[in-house]
Structure 1
């Protein structure tokens, strides 16, 4: 009797597991966050290196924790204890950690820029000071914590926190004409920063960039909203080959109460992508790069004698990437990263720019530079030494010796170090392991404590019919070895023929084939695999982390070699016995939409369908900094622009094509899609399309993503499963 019950229990258990494993992922689950993993709060490491702070949104407080125990030590500030503020959404410290800036009523301007009402909180006195009654940008405390500088209506202001006295430093700021202290649209988007002013260490100088946009062409977007008449959103947007803002560098002296322009030298048509004060309070570092972005000068400007000298010249046959890796040591020698030997590596220079040594070297890439620890004389970095689809954490002596691998698990590891480099919090994930967070010793990588994992998400997924992501190297007929992954249906049968749906992004230096945990798209691919579709991703030439030559082969020819590789990859996949070569589709977003559009046109005998979301259809429509970095100007390289633009190949369309865009896209303008549509109509080509009113480049908000992916799923089913 007992045995029978055990048998029945086992039978019922097996039956229930089988039923659970047959559960299928739905679009509603994906886009309501059913498989969302939990992460670590963004933390600020305190100067002592032993403690850190996080913003607790639930309690509305900034809390201090101990690294070693991970226990809360104290609450620094709580909104409910402040009569002046009901709530705040973020915080930042002064350099000496005596004060906090608290952000309220924050609203977005563009991708990175915001406006808000800000307050200064004095930790010792618990006093709250409102910086301005106006919505301002980028408030920044002086290193000594006595003053705060900010931008309002394109002008720089400064407030003395003791007296409450406010001073307007610049007066010529005008919307769509002159900007002081914050970047214009194209700098913000392509050089990835907003605040264009910097305090020096002595708190007696502010260096800032001025943008004169007067001659820059203006772009206009209709905002449909809910009113009777649409509104016009107008902003300066320099398209490839058009005029950029004229930039100049200025210095405000608090002691002299005077602003002067810094003479950088004989430059014309140039960018200032970075400024940074050195440890010497009178020496400012300035990076100046030419319009082609293949010649960069690192200039040291001395405010005491008004002299500017070039310390380092970086040149490249294609382009030089801009980073935030420049680090000054106590003696003002500096650490710099460069691709000059063919791979991205770390270098150490004297303050005059003469090379001390190359810190890292090898046929692999440094993917992140974390910093330098003076007491141990070690540099900390992330790299792909363990394969280009993986990431590991390392330390190395600044002389390039005694390298240590600090991460242990194969996959994607990233680190957040304490200020004194005693500890680091490691974030790890792989294709089979959801994100894990753990505390380690920086000296050897030893585990101190597990912090958080997402095993609950993995356990939940175990109840679904999912497929394993298979990584492999795809070799094209031309001999190019490309990183790839494949998802097969869970009930895959080698005797059957399956359609293939390819995903790629393909932009310069990007990577989609990586050993990391699922994104929302990965769950969509699982859903498509459930329906009997093989999903494949291939990183072609032009993508990153395999050396400069592999990445920069696409220079002046965006959309040529990357498209060739996707077409050739599809041909190779079509040779497999289980692939139906007549049902191969491709999709992508942004640069990926540019690619998928080109693929179905140039590869019209290979691809039977394509989806393009927010695509560039001609690089003539995109901005100067991004486009010209890879293409030079249309005036110099007309064939590079036109020969590889989908808009010029619409007559080749044979398969099914779905075009999607948001009208509020300030990045890749809907003009790209509208001009593509016009060309398709003029060529008498049938296609499908979807427009999302007022949605930006991300096309999200409310049910928008669910609607978008429902639309795309139906299109995939109708074209690949027919």
Structure 2
């Protein structure tokens, strides 16, 4: 058979076209970016102590790369470790190692900690300490001589192998050394070791005044109840104090913190001299924050550093950050100007200067370059849809952007502040990683990831800016069907969250923001998503627009999106669907009941139905208490509105949900029965607030099938 000399070109073009027509499976659309479609990355990146090299892990080794030559070598391999480990303790997979320097580090295997050390010829592995198998919340001393940890509700110290019980509370409802206040206010742990390792500050939370709340484990027969403490809006709250344990004297002193026992203790920070502790004392109404200093030895109040008040709320999220080698000067992050910015304080003089200013916000602090008097941070200065890396000279306030390329940047700064690891993506860049010399601003690329989605049928994605009723710009995206024909009419799925501390729309990869959106586009749907007022990273005015009336302003903004969709000739206004989880589940249910003629189909996951059943800290921040704001709670309550339902509604809940309690949707079902209203319902046994792992594929298949059955037709 004879072929034309151009035949191979047609064959190539045909195969290229077919490759680009590949469609996502439901599993790929849900977990693909964490499995077969994962974008190449550098795993477990960390800088060497001197900033002249960096470490990264591979499947069976750690690599070290010299800077600036980028010469790479194996630092330690799994084979080298196992050569020096007893046969019964052989490692099956490479552990996560924390390196003290290039020659020394440690890792944990179950409850056993090991030191590793390079002797010049090989890596020696030595058993170090064995912690109790029930040890949790483990914190290590900075001198590597011991650990502090919790077992159940008490706190323990293991110093050079000697174990001491710091607390001995027999009442299980008195909790020591754990995160408190439902992990609000940036609280992530309950143990705070002093810089000189001589003292240990810890939270003590008395929950005895809070009723037990049952969470049932249905996987065993008979089912087993596990009680939790869940303080609800308007009810008594727990009482938190802060103890300071002296390692040398084995004595604990509780700080003398005056005020309402239901107040919140936040931003726990040791002074670098280890002699005092700073605490953000926030009243239960969350509108008055006092930053107080207390003596670590006597527990007595020393002075108030500053106070922040608001007619709505004050929400501290970060600890104080002291300048290098200073015991007097620190940075405080505050939204007092309407946007989160950096403020320089001195313990004697008070406020020294506001370091960053503008209608944008700082999202993270990366560290310092002490020699050059520079601080490094991440901000939304270019756009709320992007993050970029900056350095600021804190003597003259000169600012310089360090990164290149639009999109979402994150950074890791070397200890001396001279080298910056910059990882970013945007709509067309899956991932790019650069090393930036912060002194010269020279950039070296060390990874440019391939597009793992290049062979898939991808939809057209349009970025939108709509306007709220007060003129505020609202950022959204519309994702068109992959076989889009402007002369046809398509069903639409609106995906939303629109609550605090979340942002759906950014300039990142993939441009859609979620492969499930693209999966639905391949099935012939238009998908629309938008961040309305109340969502994150737009400043206080934007966030606080929902104060005392959650659900109302958010619906007004989303209605602007719906009006835009209805204006498009290719949108079928009779086939609009809506889907969201958690706050998005609340919004979805609210729309189905408060605008019953708008959406034909809704899928609400883990929805808040009655805000009096939600936890104190979050709810009272945005709604005040039910006693102070009865009308706001009544308007947001969906139990007395179930009779309005006209469209098809699928409600989904995790049977072990300890965030939005299962009782929310159970009460909604009861209200539906009482009112003769039909809806669809599904429960995920064994899952808490979010359905993760392989079961999430099942969840999204169920959501997809529901839209296919009731919206697509």
Distance 1:572 1:156, change over 3 A: same
Contact kept, 8 Å, 2:254 with 2:299, in 1: the verdict is no
Contact kept, 8 Å, 1:392 with 1:405, in 2: the verdict is yes
**Residue in 2 that maps onto 1:391:** 387
SS at match of 1:646: coil
Contact kept, 8 Å, 2:253 with 2:299, in 1: the verdict is no
The structural deviation recorded for 1:691 is 1.0
**Residue in 2 that maps onto 1:104:** 109
Q: For the residues of structure 1 that align with 2:313 and 2:99, how far apart are their CA atoms?
A: 36
Q: For the residues of structure 2 that align with 1:131 and 1:82, how far apart are their CA atoms?
A: 15
Among candidates 213, 229, 232, match of residue 207 of structure 2? 213
The structural deviation recorded for 1:615 is 1.2
Matched, 1:303 2:296: yes
**Residue in 2 that maps onto 1:75:** 76
Q: For the residues of structure 2 that align with 1:671 and 1:274, how far apart are their CA atoms?
A: 33
Distance 1:65 1:301, change over 3 A: farther
Among candidates 469, 473, 476, match of residue 481 of structure 1? 473
**Residue in 2 that maps onto 1:410:** 406
**Residue in 1 that maps onto 2:242:** 249
Unaligned 5+ runs, structure 2? 119-123
Q: For the residues of structure 2 that align with 1:707 and 1:593, how far apart are their CA atoms?
A: 18
SS at match of 1:647: coil
Distance 1:158 1:627, change over 3 A: same
Among candidates 613, 617, 622, match of residue 621 of structure 1? 613
SS at match of 1:651: helix
Q: For the residues of structure 1 that align with 2:254 and 2:524, how far apart are their CA atoms?
A: 64
Contact kept, 8 Å, 2:253 with 2:298, in 1: the verdict is no
Please give the per-residue CA displacement for 1:48-106, whole angstroms capped at 9, x wherever unaligned: 222344455x33x666554432624633996523338444886575989998563333x
Q: How many residues align?
A: 697
Q: For the residues of structure 2 that align with 1:43 and 1:463, how far apart are their CA atoms?
A: 29
TM-score, normalised by the number of residues in structure 1: 0.90
Q: For the residues of structure 2 that align with 1:476 and 1:197, how far apart are their CA atoms?
A: 44
Please give the per-residue CA displacement for 1:248-298, whole angstroms capped at 9, x wherever unaligned: 111112233211111123343211123121211212222221112222222
**Residue in 2 that maps onto 1:464:** 456
The structural deviation recorded for 1:384 is 1.4
**Residue in 1 that maps onto 2:549:** 557
Please give the per-residue CA displacement for 1:276-327, whole angstroms capped at 9, x wherever unaligned: 2121121222222111222222222223564422112122222222323521
The structural deviation recorded for 1:46 is 3.6
What are the equivalent positions in structure 2 for 1:683-702 lying under 5 Å apart?
A: 683-702=675-694
**Residue in 1 that maps onto 2:163:** 166
The structural deviation recorded for 1:45 is 3.0
**Residue in 1 that maps onto 2:45:** 43
Among candidates 313, 317, 329, match of residue 311 of structure 2? 317
Q: For the residues of structure 1 that align with 2:77 and 2:63, how far apart are their CA atoms?
A: 6
**Residue in 2 that maps onto 1:113:** none
Distance 1:93 1:465, change over 3 A: closer
Moved more, 35-44 or 117-126: 117-126
Q: For the residues of structure 2 that align with 1:96 and 1:353, how far apart are their CA atoms?
A: 39
The structural deviation recorded for 1:122 is 6.7
Q: For the residues of structure 2 that align with 1:456 and 1:568, how far apart are their CA atoms?
A: 34
Matched, 1:354 2:354: no
**Residue in 2 that maps onto 1:440:** 436
Unaligned 5+ runs, structure 1? 106-116
SS at match of 2:9: helix
The structural deviation recorded for 1:555 is 1.2
The structural deviation recorded for 1:23 is 2.5
Contact kept, 8 Å, 1:437 with 1:452, in 2: the verdict is yes
Contact kept, 8 Å, 1:366 with 1:381, in 2: the verdict is yes
Moved more, 27-36 or 368-377: 27-36
Contact kept, 8 Å, 1:358 with 1:400, in 2: the verdict is no
Distance 1:515 1:278, change over 3 A: same
Please give the per-residue CA displacement for 1:402-424, whole angstroms capped at 9, x wherever unaligned: 21111110111111111111111
Contact kept, 8 Å, 2:461 with 2:511, in 1: the verdict is no
Contact kept, 8 Å, 1:571 with 1:606, in 2: the verdict is no
Contact kept, 8 Å, 1:476 with 1:572, in 2: the verdict is no
Distance 1:425 1:699, change over 3 A: same
Q: For the residues of structure 2 that align with 1:477 and 1:266, how far apart are their CA atoms?
A: 42
Among candidates 195, 211, 219, match of residue 189 of structure 2? 195
**Residue in 2 that maps onto 1:424:** 420
Quote the RMSD (CA, aligned, Å).
Answer: 2.6
Among candidates 266, 283, 290, match of residue 283 of structure 2? 290
Contact kept, 8 Å, 1:369 with 1:380, in 2: the verdict is yes
Contact kept, 8 Å, 2:319 with 2:332, in 1: the verdict is yes
Moved more, 391-400 or 534-543: 391-400
**Residue in 1 that maps onto 2:176:** 180
SS at match of 2:5: helix
Contact kept, 8 Å, 1:489 with 1:532, in 2: the verdict is yes
Matched, 1:637 2:629: yes
Among candidates 320, 331, 334, match of residue 335 of structure 1? 331
Contact kept, 8 Å, 1:311 with 1:353, in 2: the verdict is no
Among candidates 694, 705, 709, match of residue 714 of structure 1? 705
What are the equivalent positions in structure 2 for 1:365-404 lying under 5 Å apart?
A: 365-399=361-395, 401-404=397-400
Contact kept, 8 Å, 1:487 with 1:536, in 2: the verdict is yes
Q: For the residues of structure 2 that align with 1:444 and 1:347, how far apart are their CA atoms?
A: 27
The structural deviation recorded for 1:597 is 0.9
The structural deviation recorded for 1:434 is 0.7
Distance 1:183 1:134, change over 3 A: same
What are the equivalent positions in structure 2 for 1:606-617 lying under 5 Å apart?
A: 606-617=598-609
Contact kept, 8 Å, 1:325 with 1:369, in 2: the verdict is no
